[in-house]
């Protein structure tokens, strides 16, 4: 890899890994096309004990956001409260009282999916469309996250790279996870990863942030996928991939002057859905305990019309 030529490396990877046209010129679901009813049947068959895990961080003012590009933590306010009800000021009959609430938040402030309209390559979005025709101030008119509202339920596989590669279970910030690391983890776990799977990569960074405080979790140095895994992401035909980090790929990025180069290949060219800031720790503990790393996973985005991402509470059931 030539650290000085991100543009060249991205262009080459984009060419090798492109899925443009694979599902026709009108496709809006990218790799979610791999997630078939057959995969769902396989996923559901993995429920053995009926134990469920939420893979979502909380959504509140104590989150990691520090304002980068106006990404803030959620602001949750009340429209009605129990104190109002108790004070008898709500004006309802027969003693009923109520509370109600509102939220204002960036769609990518906490546990989230990147939609296909989230990233562009030289002004071009997924499937070769012009970004300016896809995502305007009115939102994503083509590949809004609502297009996959019913899709994201299937077989999940945890790759606990942190636990496999590091005695403490946490990869260092700046650690680039390569295809070899992924393969070694898969082998060590006895897992299989293939078409239509939703792959969850645990780095351990969130474990560390939970212990030490957020610091620069939102955008700072982090372990993550190496740019060189683009071909693996493409070849395995996975439906989606998620990590416990802010930005999925290793940070600082592996080029001298770069910003999320793997995104630039993965989203517009592979058509891959990326999950970020997932909380994989409780699930990972359970997987380490019973040696079973695959499960039934539902991770349905909120169908916010025209959104380029969505908050999500992914539920894994083993």
Shortest gap between Cβ of 232 and its own copies (angstroms)?
20
Shortest distance (Å) from residue 248 CB to its own copies: 13
317, 52 Cβ separation under 8 angstroms: yes
Distance CA 229, CA 179 (A): 6
Radius of gyration of the CA atoms of the chain, in A: 20
Measured from the CB atom, is 125 or 200 closer to its own copies? 125
Encoded tokens for 146: 């609502």
We find the least distance from the C-beta atom of residue 251 to its own copies, in angstroms, to be: 14
* 227 or 232: CB nearest its own copies: 227
- Nearer Cβ to its own copies (124/188): 124
**Tokens 């060189």 label which residue?**
228
Residues in the chain: 318
Q: Which residues of 272-283 are buried (b: 16+ CB within 10 A; e: fewer)?
A: bbbbbbbbbbeb
Closest CA to 49 of 299, 313, 292, 278: 292
Q: Toward its own copies, which CB reaches closer, 175 or 227?
A: 227
Tokens 């010129």 locate to: 25
Instruction: Compute CA distances 300 → 263, 309, 311, whole Å.
Output: 21, 12, 9
Q: How far is the CB of 2 from its own copies (least distance, A)?
A: 12
> In whole angstroms, how close is the CB of 290 to its own copies at the nearest point?
14
Contact 276, 284 (CB under 8 A): no
Taking the complex as a whole, the smallest distance from the CB of residue 38 to its own copies amounts, in Å, to: 6
Find residue 306's DSSP bridge partners: none
Q: Nearer to its own copies by C-beta: 185 or 245?
A: 245
CB of 314 to its own copies, least distance (A): 8
Give the Cα separation of 224 and 201 in Å (integer).
9
Which CB, 54 or 178, lies closer to its own copies? 54
Sign of CA dihedral 204, 206, 210, 216: positive
b/e burial code for range 168-186 (CB count within 10 A of at least 16 → b): ebbbebebbbbbebbeebb
Minimum CB–partner distance for residue 93 and its own copies (Å): 5
| 10 vs 177, beta carbon nearer its own copies | 10
Nearer to its own copies by C-beta: 132 or 187? 132
Beta bridge partners of 114: 274, 309
- The Cα–Cα gap between 161 and 201 comes to 7
């Amino acid at each position: 890899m030539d650290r000085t030529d991100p543009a060249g490396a991205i262009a080459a990877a984009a060419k090798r890994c492109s899925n443009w046209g694979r599902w026709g010129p009108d496709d809006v679901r990218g790799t979610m096309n791999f997630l078939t009813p057959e995969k769902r049947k396989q996923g559901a068959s993995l429920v053995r004990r009926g134990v469920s895990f939420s893979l979502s961080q909380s959504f509140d003012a104590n989150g990691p956001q520090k304002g980068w590009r106006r990404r803030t933590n959620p602001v949750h306010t009340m429209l009605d409260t129990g104190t109002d009800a108790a004070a008898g000021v709500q004006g309802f009959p027969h003693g009923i009282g109520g509370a109600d609430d509102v939220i204002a938040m960036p769609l990518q402030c906490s546990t989230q999916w990147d939609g296909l309209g989230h990233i562009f390559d030289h002004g071009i979005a997924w499937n070769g469309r012009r970004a300016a025709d896809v995502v305007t101030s009115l939102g994503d008119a083509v590949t809004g996250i609502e297009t996959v509202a019913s899709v994201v339920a299937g077989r999940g596989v945890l790759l606990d790279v942190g636990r496999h590669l590091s005695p403490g279970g946490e990869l260092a910030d700046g650690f680039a996870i390569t295809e070899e690391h992924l393969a070694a983890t898969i082998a060590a776990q006895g897992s299989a990863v293939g078409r239509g799977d939703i792959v969850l990569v645990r780095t351990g960074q969130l474990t560390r942030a939970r212990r030490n405080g957020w610091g620069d979790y939102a955008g700072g140095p982090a372990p993550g996928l190496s740019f060189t895994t683009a071909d693996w992401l493409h070849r395995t035909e996975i439906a989606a991939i998620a990590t416990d980090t802010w930005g999925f790929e290793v940070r600082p990025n592996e080029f001298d002057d770069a910003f999320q180069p793997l995104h630039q290949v993965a989203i517009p060219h592979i058509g891959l859905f990326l999950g970020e800031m997932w909380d994989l720790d409780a699930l990972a503990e359970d997987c380490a305990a019973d040696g079973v790393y695959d499960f039934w996973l539902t991770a349905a985005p909120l169908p916010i019309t025209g959104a380029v991402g969505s908050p999500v509470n992914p539920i894994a059931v083993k």
